[in-house]
Amino acid sequence: MTLAAAITQIQTHADACTGVKYAHAAPPETAGALPAVYAYPSSGNVVLLSYNSINSFDTITVDYVTPRTLLDVAQANCLTFIDEFPKKLALDPTLAGTVTTIQEVSYTVLDATWSNVEVRIVRFIVPTKIHGAAS
């Protein structure tokens, strides 16, 4: 079980959502083809339980980014992703065995400018728990 493997599995689920053109392994410097999804670690902590045993509580941020050229289209795209993505996570709560569990998932919606492109972002916060050995 690793954080990198969990992010890869999240990207696989995000890429399977309606309308997603790209689910990159890492956030790129420029917007590129949209709608796109980017997952990355944003925070975490590790609890040392005993010799060779740890719990890692990692927060994975998932950004669904769609152009805001036509607000009604951007809003429809966001609503579709908000509906589909959590269902994919619910069907795979261990992310194909890469985490022990997914904890309570939340999201926010925000507008931004990214490499001179007006975008709407749905940002999911996916807290995970990985129980494992230190070696």
**What CATH number is attached to the domain comprising 117?**
3.30.2000.30
To which residue do tokens 């083809």 refer?
Answer: 33
Beta strand extents in the chain (DSSP E only): 22-24, 36-50, 53-67, 101-102, 106-114, 117-132
pLDDT per position as a tens digit, 24-42: 767 777 767 889 999 999 9
- Residue 41: the pLDDT is 93
What distance, in Å, lies between the first and last C-alpha atoms of the chain? 12
d(CA 33, CA 47): 39
pLDDT per position as a tens digit, 64-104: 999 998 899 999 999 999 999 999 999 999 999 899 889 89
The number of beta carbons lying within 10 Å of the beta carbon of residue 2 is: 13
Residue 134: pLDDT band with limits 50, 70, 90: confident
Number of domains in the chain: 1
Residue 13's domain comprises 3-132
- Residue 43: the pLDDT is 94
Contact by Cβ (8 Å): 54, 47? yes
